Amino acid sequence: MYLHNTLTKRKEKFTPIDEKNVRMYVCGPTVYDRAHLGNAKSAVVFDVLNRVLHQVYGDKHVTYVSNITDIDDKILNKHQQTGKPISEITAETYQWYIDDMHALNVKDPDYRPRATEFVKEMIELVEILIKNGHAYEADGHILFSVDSMPKYGFLSGRSMKEMLAGARIEVADYKKNPADFILWKPSTADQPGWDSPWGYGRPGWHLECSAMSSKYLGNSFDIHGGGADLIFPHHENECAQSLCAHPNDSFANYWIHAGMLMVDGVKMSKSLGNFYTVNEIIKDYPAEALRLLFISTHYHQPFNFTHSGLKQAKQVLDKFYNALLRVKDIPVIKTDPDERVVEALSDDINTPLAISYLHDIANSLNKAVSLEEKQKYKSLLLKSADIMGLLYQDAEDWFKGKNTDDVDEIDRLIEERAEAKRNKDWAKADSIRNQLKEQGIILEDTPQGTSWKKE
């Protein structure tokens, strides 16, 4: 396998520490609101990487951890805005996130730690950093001293001047260096907090992932992933505190980052009115079309979401599912995925190239004449698509849609039309066909009966 490593700024051969236990940690969401397209794109990208790792190294030899941040000022702000208890906010939004990810066919990681469950480990990490001379107390806060780490900035490749000019640097008089970042902050009585050697307080955001990744994967592991927006300061600061706490370990050897998400060519933001949640999009489009759209662009490149692109992704899936619908009664046989698909995905997760091979397989399936050929290409298409989390639905269900009330009504009208045809009431039969056609329902009459699908 080859992966583009942010650490070295180039694509390089992936060599795991232990081929019997390939370890990956990916930063998960902060649960205070609905998952947006950026959350979903990152989750889908790393779901594909997880699937590829399982394909290459075997299902029993991959450990995937992705966290939930349920301590954060954004959650606190939501609590103050709504008056809802923090536990209720995080429980509700966590479930929303899980439901959205399952709709997108994102597999659950092996472990999904919640930050609130690992405060003890975070406090221990801060104590080590203070003992090692990398952290100091000031005005009730514990801060990491960036001056104590000569190579600070090595992951992002930024100079101190660039880092200070960057976003999300909190200015405070009590810092020795403006770039110093918070490891532990005091909490008031009405804020969430825990007892610590420095008083009642809560951890800084960056600290959380260092503690949780170390707990599950050790102080040295293979892959750390997330969106490109996390490179600085989040991942830079994770590197700093983890390496300074455990100087004899490497923390993550490969840093993989998904490209920035844009909407219609500009950055997605609520102020521009182009902010979309997953829940909003999948009310109008199949979730699988959104998944396909995400991986139609190489993960490392900026991704541009458009509604026209989403419609095209659905049309591609229509083609694939049409090919499968023609052979719906032919059983699947055990097979390996197409070697070209595996090779493309092993080359820095080249999903656009892998998808082009799915088109080739679907074309071969459509041209297949013998039962043996049809069985071969149907099985190959499904097995190859599965590594990208695609074609996971029944072909008939794909075309019928997900609203069971609509399905029952369509089936009732088809039966009514069949009765009209038996009574030679051709005008009524044609009227029902036209009524359904106006709803985007196409009927296909066969010797075995009438089937239907959505346009």
Judgement on whether residues 317 and 441 belong to the same structural domain of the protein? no
DSSP sequence for 210-230? HHHHHHHH-SEEEEEEEEGGG
Angle at alpha carbon of residue 125, lines to 122 and 128, rounded to 5°? 155
Evaluated on CA atoms 264, 267, 268, 272, the torsion sign reads negative
Judgement on whether residues 238 and 123 belong to the same structural domain of the protein? yes
Evaluated on CA atoms 6, 7, 8, 14, the torsion sign reads negative
Beta bridge partners of 261: 303
Q: Which two tokens stand for residue 40?
A: 């979903």
Q: List, in order, residues 6 or more apart from 391 with CB less than 8 Å away.
A: 317, 320, 321, 324, 381, 382, 385
- Is the CB of residue 27 less than 8 Å from the CB of residue 309? no
Helix segments in 104-184, DSSP class H: 119-131, 160-165
pLDDT at position 168: 59
pLDDT at position 455: 65
Judgement on whether residues 219 and 86 belong to the same structural domain of the protein? yes
Judgement on whether residues 243 and 361 belong to the same structural domain of the protein? no
Q: List, in order, residues 6 or more apart from 188 with CB less than 8 Å away.
A: none
Cα 40 to chain centroid, rounded: 5
pLDDT at position 408: 75
Stated pTM of the model:
0.89
Judgement on whether residues 169 and 182 belong to the same structural domain of the protein? yes
Here the CATH number for the domain that contains residue 130 is: 3.40.50.620
Judgement on whether residues 253 and 272 belong to the same structural domain of the protein? no
Judgement on whether residues 38 and 147 belong to the same structural domain of the protein? yes
Q: How many domains does the chain have?
A: 3
Q: Decide: helix, strand or coil at residue 55.
A: helix
Judgement on whether residues 67 and 166 belong to the same structural domain of the protein? yes
Domain boundary among 258, 287, 317: 258
Here the CATH number for the domain that contains residue 333 is: 1.10.730.10
DSSP sequence for 324-392? HHTTTTSPP---PPPHHHHHHHHBT--HHHHHHHHHHHHHHHHH--SHHHHHHHHHHHHHHHHTTT---
- Containing structural domain, residue 98: 2-258
Residue in the structure block whose two tokens are 């009115």: 273
Judgement on whether residues 219 and 354 belong to the same structural domain of the protein? no
Domain boundary among 203, 228, 258: 258
Residue in the structure block whose two tokens are 């399905």: 407
Q: Which two tokens stand for residue 115?
A: 């930050």
Q: Which two tokens stand for residue 190?
A: 């009405």
CA distance 75 to 72: 5
For 390-417, how does the pLDDT look when each residue is reduced to its tens digit (9 = 90+)?
999 999 899 887 544 567 788 888 989 9
CA distance 5 to 288: 28
The conformational region for residue 212 under phi > 0 = left, psi -120 to 50 = alpha, else beta, is alpha
pLDDT at position 404: 45
Residue in the structure block whose two tokens are 């039969």: 429
Residues of the chain with pLDDT under 50: 403-404
Euclidean distance between the first and the last CA atom of the chain, given in angstroms as a whole number: 40
Judgement on whether residues 131 and 212 belong to the same structural domain of the protein? yes
pLDDT at position 163: 75
For 69-87, how does the pLDDT look when each residue is reduced to its tens digit (9 = 90+)?
999 999 999 999 999 999 9
Judgement on whether residues 337 and 357 belong to the same structural domain of the protein? yes
Domain boundary among 398, 421, 436: 398
Judgement on whether residues 285 and 243 belong to the same structural domain of the protein? no
CA distance 436 to 433: 5
